Amino acid sequence: MLERGTRFPTPFEVAFPKGLVQNGLVEPDYEYNPNKNAPRVQKRDEVTGLLQWKANVNDPAEKNAKRASFALLFTAAVQPVPETPELVPGTEMRLIELEGLTAEPRVMGQGEFKYLGYTFRAEGYRAAAGATKTTRSDKAA
C-alpha cells in the first residue's frame, strides 16, 4: 500500500512533452502565519529537510486552461537559478527544463469538480534542449 505523500521520480520529457514556460522569478515558499507582524519563515520540505521554493509555470501541452498554470516547487539549499535566457527581455518568461523531477498524486478541485492532479517538485534546472545558456557577458551586452 502506498502511503500518503509518496513521490514518484518522473522524467521531465514524460511529464511535460512540450516543455514548460516559467512566468516570473523563483521565490521562497513561506509558511502561512495570520500574524502579519511575525517574521516570515520559509517552508522546509518534509522529506528532504531542504528549503522549499516556488515558481509559476505554464504547461503548453495541457488543454484545460485552468490546469495549464500551476506553482512548481523546488527543494534546494539555495535559490535555484534558471539556465535559459528570457524569451522577451524584461518579461521573466523563459523555457525551462528540470532535474530531479517528482510527481505526488493528490485530489484537487472541490465539490463535484474534484480531479486527480499532481504536485510537482524539482531539485533544479538543466539547460533546455536547443537553448543557449545565458552568461554574464550576455547579460552585460
CA separation for the pair 69, 96 (Å, rounded): 14
Number of domains in the chain: 1
Work out the average pLDDT over 95-110.
94
**Within-domain flag for 26:** yes
**Within-domain flag for 3:** no
Give the pLDDT of residue 140: 43
pLDDT over 60 at 139, yes or no: no
Give the pLDDT of residue 130: 55
Give the pLDDT of residue 3: 82
Work out the average pLDDT over 74-103.
95
Q: Mean pLDDT over all residues of the chain?
A: 89
Measure CA 77 to chain center. Answer: 15
Give the pLDDT of residue 62: 94
Record the cell numbers describing residue 141, joined without a space: 551586452
Give the pLDDT of residue 141: 39
Q: Describe the strand order of the beta sheet including 115-122 as a list of residue ranges.
A: 8-9, 102-108, 115-122, 69-75, 52-58, 20-28, 93-99, 124-126
Backbone angles phi, psi at 15, to 5 degrees: -70, -35
Give the pLDDT of residue 136: 36
**Within-domain flag for 1:** no
**Within-domain flag for 24:** yes
Give the structural domain span for 109.
8-140
pLDDT over 70 at 43, yes or no: yes
| Tens-digit pLDDT profile for residues 48-80 | 999 999 999 999 999 989 899 999 999 999 999
Residue 129: pLDDT band by 50, 70, 90 thresholds?
low
**Within-domain flag for 97:** yes
Write the DSSP symbol of residue 113. Answer: G
pTM for the full predicted model: 0.84
**Within-domain flag for 121:** yes
Give the pLDDT of residue 133: 44
**Within-domain flag for 70:** yes
Backbone angles phi, psi at 77, to 5 degrees: -70, -30
